[in-house]
Amino acid sequence: MSNVFEQLRLYSNKLVQSGLVVGAGGNLSMRDGGFMYISPSGFDLQEIETEHWVKVNIETGEVLSDLKPSSEILMHLECFRRRPDINSVLHAHPSYSVGVSSAGKDIPNMFPDFPAMVKKVAYLDYVIPTTNVLADKVAAVIDDADVVVMRNHGVMTVGKSMKEAYFFMQLTEEAAKVFTIASTVGTPRLLSEDECQDLRNLAAEKFRSKLLKDS
């Protein structure tokens, strides 16, 4: 139990300090048996204390705390319900990822780490946040994607550990940043699907991926 709160606090701070969220934006959650702990609504992520995390029954959606959960609670619940293999969900508003996707572009593979570690990115056209409409759209793609980019909104990542979900968020934002920079100075050279598959088959990348899942 204490490890859940330690991880939530650590990565709440990381999200803010790395500029992936601003103010009270963004939310995160972790599975704890049949329950999840999710960030409370309206809190700056750096100001959340142990007693503030909101306990929710994953199966029923019943809120078991006095504080109001993040307005994106439905999206988090759908992830845990559909993916028993994951234990962590992050939602942030990374600038380059939002910028690239809102221009109607997908975030391409331009450097080894991104395709080697992130197997699939799903893209959703804009729908109003915090609603069951968005949660349903996430549910429709989350079965085989660890990164969901929501155009004009943000990015959601899931992982077997919070460290893995955070790394996916970092990689996605870095890929969007590299693409943006390359596009300002010339025509970006993208990695081919064959090149991406070769990277995924590297023993070193498989080992690194296992370390993230076990963290």
How confident is the model at residue 213, as a pLDDT?
63
Q: How far apart are CA 95 and CA 85, in angstroms?
A: 29
* pLDDT value at 1 more than 70: no
How confident is the model at residue 24, as a pLDDT?
77
Percent of the chain whose predicted confidence (pLDDT) is above 70: 93
Active site residues: 72
HEC string for 17-79: HCCCCCCCCCEEEEEECCEEEECECCCCHHHCCHHHCEEEECCCCCECCCCCECCCHHHHHHH
Range of the domain at 70: 2-214
For the chain, how many structural domains are there in total?
1
Overall pTM > 0.85: yes
Average pLDDT of 104-130? Answer: 95
Give residue-wise pLDDT tens across range 17-52.
Answer: 999 998 778 999 999 999 999 999 999 999 999 999
pLDDT-derived band at 190 (thresholds 50, 70, 90) equals: very high
Q: Which residue has the tokens 């979900």?
A: 165
Q: Provide the token pair at 104.
A: 């109607």
HEC string for 121-134: EEEECCCCCCCHHH
Percent of the chain whose predicted confidence (pLDDT) is above 90: 88
Q: How far apart are CA 162 and CA 170, in angstroms?
A: 12
Q: Provide the token pair at 88.
A: 């962590």
Average pLDDT, the chain: 94
For residue 197, the domain's CATH number is 3.40.225.10
Give residue-wise pLDDT tens across range 50-103.
Answer: 999 999 999 999 999 999 999 999 999 999 999 999 999 999 999 999 999 999
Asked if 161 and 213 touch (Cβ cutoff 8 Å), the reply is yes
